[in-house]
Amino acid sequence: MLEITSTKNSYIKELKKLEKKKHRDASQCYLIEGEHLVGEAIKHGANLETILVTEAGRGLLANFSELARTTKSYLVTEEVFKVISSVPAPQGIMAVVHQTNDELNQKTMGPYLLLDNVQDPGNVGTMIRTADAAGFGTVILGEGCADIYSAKVLRSMQGSQFHVTLIQSNLMEAMTKLKEKNIAIYGTELNPEAISYRDLVIEGDYGLVMGNEGQGVSKEILNQTRQNIYIPIDGQAESLNVAIAAGILMFSLRSL
């Protein structure tokens, strides 16, 4: 195992740059941190470039599969690790992972969650994690959504990016492809033409569109759905957080 003891090491400087989206896009790599996330990446066959551990985290490698032990690894000092860590209490293990570039095709599995300009990283990560828990096969992120490889989204997903297919695409184009596969698309909005999700009748595969935290789903998207739905609210709140609403709908629609 190679050792790195200087915070000025050229490789460490390159990894530090991965905090910014433009460098993640350029390198097509991102960082994950902690025993759970690294373990999920290894378990599900993610394309790892390197693993970095401190002396304290070195023993964690023994808990992982042969892939972890054969991936190029670095032993770094606590000081070096903290320079590239994004958490207040590092566990002493992280990995550099190659991004995936999945596309919508005949092998893509539903149900589908489509996100329209959802900007908050916590909401995006939570919805992907909830989609995973609810048994959705694919999440399609439209333009304007938070970057799925940012540290906050990665922490919120908790490894679900390795369980579901994530596609970054123009939503109108994605919806056209889904319709060609005879997949119904349901939007979410509050207006007289929408119906309660409880009254929805689902036959076959489907997609659910969730929108921006403040503006909701765009009119352009809503005009292309089969039906738009809403969640009845009995209390005095005007609306629900988009991630909460998505969770209610995803689990409810799966039971219809």
The mean pLDDT of 17-27, rounded to a whole number, is 96
Hey, is 146 helix, strand or coil? coil
Q: Are 153 and 120 in contact (CB under 8 A)?
A: no
- Burial pattern 100-126, b for ≥16 Cβ within 10 A else e, equals eebebeeebebbbbbbbbbebbebbbb
Q: What's the angle, vertex CA 58, arms to CA 53 and CA 63, rounded to 5?
A: 115
Q: Measured at the alpha carbon of residue 225, what is the angle toward residues 223 and 229, in degrees to the nearest 5? A: 100
Tokens of 202: 């689902």
Q: What is the pLDDT of residues 105-163, one digit of tens each?
A: 878 899 999 999 999 999 999 999 999 999 999 999 999 999 999 999 999 999 999 99
Q: In this predicted structure, what is the pLDDT of residue 102? A: 86
**Looking at residues 45-53, what average pLDDT do you find?**
93
DSSP state of 132: H
pLDDT tier, 60 (very low <50, low <70, confident <90, very high otherwise): confident
Architecture, CATH, for domain 112-254: 3-Layer(aba) Sandwich (3.40)
Q: Are 193 and 227 in contact (CB under 8 A)?
A: no
Q: What is the pTM of this model?
A: 0.92
What is the rounded end-to-end Cα distance, in angstroms, of the chain? 53
Q: pLDDT tens across 227-240, in order? A: 999 999 989 888 89
Q: In sequence order, what E strands does the chain have?
A: 2-4, 29-33, 48-53, 73-76, 93-98, 112-115, 138-141, 165-168, 184-188, 195-196, 206-210, 227-230
- On the question of pLDDT at 69 being above 70, the answer is no
Topology (CATH) of 2-98? 60s Ribosomal Protein L30; Chain: A; (3.30.1330)
- Looking at the chain, the domain(s) classified CATH 3.30.1330.30 span 2-98
CA distance 118 to 216: 9
Q: Could you read off the pLDDT of 159-201 as tens digits, one per residue?
A: 999 999 999 999 999 999 999 999 999 999 988 789 999 999 9
> Start-end ranges of CATH 3.40.1280.10 in the chain?
112-254
